[in-house]
């Protein structure tokens, strides 16, 4: 191990999977494990093989996988009370998983031994010692998780100390200090870890924290500052209750801020990708405000900020976003100035030159429309169209003549909608009709059906998400609404916005913007097929 090396222990597949709405199949767990291994993490905790069939199946499949960098680890408890370790089903399941390393947890808080396990304090110590000695005799690397350690230490430091010493004497390769309830403060973590280092070598200690007070990352960093050299956590901080320590944020802070080596530089540049990869498999929307890798982590909205960033990004950024695979974003909204518009236009490949009057015109239009309820920082597609229209680089691809939507309810279909639409392209009219599950879906189908004759590339795009928000609630059902659409053509994702007191009209605006954006970014959009 090199100087300042910090070992990473990922428990996304076990502790992370205990989070609300997180549910990985065995196959998905294997995909994540292989991805994490490719980034050179040191340990991957695959699950608890004695707890459910899915984890048993995962470890069976993992036997056929060669992990190049990480040590796959099976998790379980110590032996049960008053039973020999070789006869304990928990330990048998750990051995059957056939992993090079095993992690077992034991109670280091006397409250848990007496009131939860209903065993004597001496029996609890024997359960820990016997289990570690047995697993070591079977050739395993053994990590001991001292569950509830910090609460136990604060309640009875003598007994909590006995637990660690028993694990050390039994031959544990790593001793992990756990803030299982997530209620310990950083200064308490630091003080207790410092005391522990007087009788447990710091090179074999680890830290495992939960986020119930929003301090899991801070507590982990406090422990590392006192010499702990293994950090445990989950990707994106998934986990029970408020989650575990977020390994993404921990790695960013340790390696990029504190000079502690966690991963190769190439792996650090994949942190954003890793965060989105696991988020996608977990089917949980990415957190935009996630430090380092979130979509908003390097997004600038205030005009003063953007003006400064354009001159020197260090003015409002603590690091280069590319270091973690992220990118800078400039948002345009009612808080924007000319700097925002000029930066955004340049990002879009539009040269406003030194036309201050044009920049001011765009800013005025943005602020005026946002005052009516539009939201351009969440609708990059609509913003692009607004800028292109302002500078005369956009030609309307079609003209709406009229449309109508009828919604009916039947026994078999509670929301059957039919839309009829008439549009014209270069003077040629097209009248079509289509059905859909709801008025917006029917309108979308009808518009595409009418346009595809002229613009076949519309078949490449599809709607990804549809969101509606009431802008002001005092008018009840007559209140204005904002509709946000996310669309994709398989290569790019873009968002558009519409605002009206009529939800159909607001949806129409967002829908038209979505199609016009697709056509505007296609160099052949203005041409009909020959």
Nearest to residue 496, comparing CAs of 504, 481, 508, 479? 508
| Residue 426: Cβ-neighbour burial (10 angstroms; 0-12, 13-18, 19+) | exposed
Q: What mean pLDDT is predicted for residues 406-412?
A: 80
- Whether 413 has a pLDDT exceeding 80, the answer reads no
Q: How many CB atoms lie within 10 A of CB 480?
A: 18
- Give the lowest-confidence range in 183-197, 251-265, 342-356: 342-356
* Cα→Cα distances 459→434, 448, 463, 476, 529, Å: 15, 8, 11, 38, 14
**417-440: per-residue pLDDT in tens?**
899 999 999 999 999 999 988 888
- Whether 333 has a pLDDT exceeding 70, the answer reads no
pLDDT value for 526: 41
pLDDT value for 334: 57
Q: What mean pLDDT is predicted for residues 279-296?
A: 88
Distance CA 181, CA 239 (A): 12
Confidence of residue 474 (pLDDT cuts 50, 70, 90): very low
410 vs 90, higher pLDDT: 90
pLDDT value for 3: 63
The CA-based diameter of the chain, rounded to the nearest angstrom, is 90
SS3 336: coil
Give the best-scoring range by mean pLDDT among 117-121, 221-225, 474-478: 221-225
User: Under 8 Å CB-to-CB from 481, ≥6 apart: which residues?
Assistant: 468, 469, 470, 471, 499, 500, 501, 503, 506
pLDDT value for 123: 95
Please give the share of the chain, as a percent, with pLDDT higher than 70.
94
Going through 12-127 in order, the beta strands assigned E by DSSP cover 43-47, 71-77, 101-107
Do 181 and 148 form a contact (C-beta atoms < 8 A)?
A: yes
SS3 188: helix
Q: What mean pLDDT is predicted for residues 290-317?
A: 85
Q: Which two tokens stand for residue 249?
A: 């944020």
Estimate the share of the chain in helix, then strand, then coil, as percent rounded to the nearest 5: 45, 20, 35
Q: What SS3 string covers 232-261?
A: EEEHHHCCCCCCECEHHHHHHHHHHHCCCE
SS3 49: coil
The rounded radius of gyration (Å) of the Cα atoms in the chain is 29
Q: What mean pLDDT is predicted for residues 206-210?
A: 98
Helix axes 356-371, 338-347, angle to 10 degrees: 100
**252-265: per-residue pLDDT in tens?**
999 999 999 999 99
Distance CA 278, CA 35 (A): 9
* Cα→Cα distances 26→13, 65, 409, Å: 9, 14, 42
Distance CA 85, CA 506 (A): 67
Secondary structure letter of residue 203 according to DSSP: G
- Give the lowest-confidence range in 20-29, 79-88, 113-122, 307-316: 307-316
Structural domains of the chain sorted by starting position, each given as residue range(s) with its CATH number in brackets: 7-282 (3.20.20.70), 299-369 (no CATH), 372-388+460-530 (3.30.160.340), 398-454 (3.30.160)
Confidence of residue 476 (pLDDT cuts 50, 70, 90): very low
- Whether 469 has a pLDDT exceeding 60, the answer reads yes
205 vs 82, higher pLDDT: 205
Nearest to residue 298, comparing CAs of 319, 284, 281? 319
125 vs 51, higher pLDDT: 125
User: Under 8 Å CB-to-CB from 321, ≥6 apart: which residues?
Assistant: 297, 298, 327, 328
Q: Say how far residue 380 (Cα) sits from the centre of its chain.
A: 21
Nearest to residue 233, comparing CAs of 217, 222, 218? 217
- Whether 20 has a pLDDT exceeding 70, the answer reads yes
Going through 15-79 in order, the beta strands assigned E by DSSP cover 43-47, 71-77
Length of the chain: 530
Which backbone phi and psi does 507 adopt, to 5 degrees?
-65, -40
Distance CA 259, CA 178 (A): 24
Q: Which two tokens stand for residue 30?
A: 């294997």
Which backbone phi and psi does 200 adopt, to 5 degrees?
-120, 125
Distance CA 151, CA 141 (A): 27
In the chain the first and final C-alpha atoms are separated, in Å, by 66
* pTM: predicted TM-score of the whole model, two decimal places: 0.74
Confidence of residue 338 (pLDDT cuts 50, 70, 90): low
């Amino acid at each position: 191990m090199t100087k300042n090396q910090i070992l990473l222990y990922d428990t996304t597949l076990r502790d992370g999977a205990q989070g609300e709405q997180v549910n990985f199949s065995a196959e998905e767990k294997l995909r994540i494990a292989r991805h994490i291994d490719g980034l050179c993490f040191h340990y991957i905790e695959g699950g608890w093989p004695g707890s459910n069939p899915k984890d048993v199946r995962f470890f069976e499949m993992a036997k056929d996988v060669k992990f190049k960098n990480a040590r796959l680890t099976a998790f379980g408890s110590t032996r049960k009370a008053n039973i020999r370790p070789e006869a304990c089903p928990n330990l048998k399941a750990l051995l059957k998983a056939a992993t090079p390393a095993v992690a077992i947890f034991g109670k280091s808080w006397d409250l848990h031994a007496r009131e939860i396990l209903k065993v004597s304090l001496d029996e609890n110590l024997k359960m820990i010692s016997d289990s570690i000695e047995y697993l070591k005799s079977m050739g395993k690397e053994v990590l001991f998780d001292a569950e509830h350690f910090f609460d136990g230490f604060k309640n009875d430091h003598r007994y909590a100390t006995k637990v660690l010493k028993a694990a050390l004497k039994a031959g544990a390769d790593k001793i992990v200090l756990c803030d299982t309830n997530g209620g310990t403060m950083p200064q308490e973590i630091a003080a207790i870890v410092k005391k522990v280092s007087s009788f447990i070598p710091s090179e074999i200690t680890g830290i495992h924290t939960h986020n119930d007070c929003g301090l899991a990352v801070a507590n982990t960093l406090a422990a590392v500052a006192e010499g702990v050299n293994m950090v445990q956590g989950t990707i994106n901080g998934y986990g029970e209750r408020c989650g575990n320590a977020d390994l993404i944020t921990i790695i960013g802070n340790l390696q990029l801020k504190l000079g502690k080596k966690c991963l190769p530089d190439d792996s650090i540049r994949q942190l954003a990708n890793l965060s989105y990869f696991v988020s996608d498999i977990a089917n949980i929307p990415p957190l935009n405000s996630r430090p380092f890798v979130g979509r908003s982590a390097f997004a600038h909205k205030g005009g003063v900020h953007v003006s400064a960033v354009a001159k020197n990004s260090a003015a409002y950024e603590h690091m280069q976003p590319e270091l973690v695979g992220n990118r800078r974003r400039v948002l345009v909204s009612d808080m924007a100035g000319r700097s925002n518009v000029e930066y955004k236009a340049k990002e879009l490949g539009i040269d406003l030159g030194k036309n201050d009057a044009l920049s001011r015109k765009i800013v005025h239009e943005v602020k005026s429309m946002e005052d009516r309820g539009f939201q351009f920082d969440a609708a990059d597609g609509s913003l692009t169209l607004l800028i292109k229209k302002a500078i005369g680089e956009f030609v309307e691809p079609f003209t709406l003549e009229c449309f109508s939507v009828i919604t009916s309810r039947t026994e078999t279909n509670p929301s059957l909608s039919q839309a009829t639409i008439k549009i014209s392209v270069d003077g040629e009219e097209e009248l079509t009709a289509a059905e859909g599950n709801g008025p917006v879906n029917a309108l979308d189908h009808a518009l595409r059906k009418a346009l595809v004759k002229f613009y076949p590339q519309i078949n490449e795009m599809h709607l990804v998400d549809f969101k509606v928000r009431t802008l002001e609630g005092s008018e009840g059902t007559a209140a204005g609404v904002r509709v946000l659409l996310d669309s994709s053509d398989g290569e790019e994702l873009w968002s558009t916005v519409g605002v009206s007191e009529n939800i159909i009209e607001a949806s129409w605006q967002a829908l038209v913007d979505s199609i016009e954006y697709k056509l505007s970014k296609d160099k052949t959009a203005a041409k009909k097929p020959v």
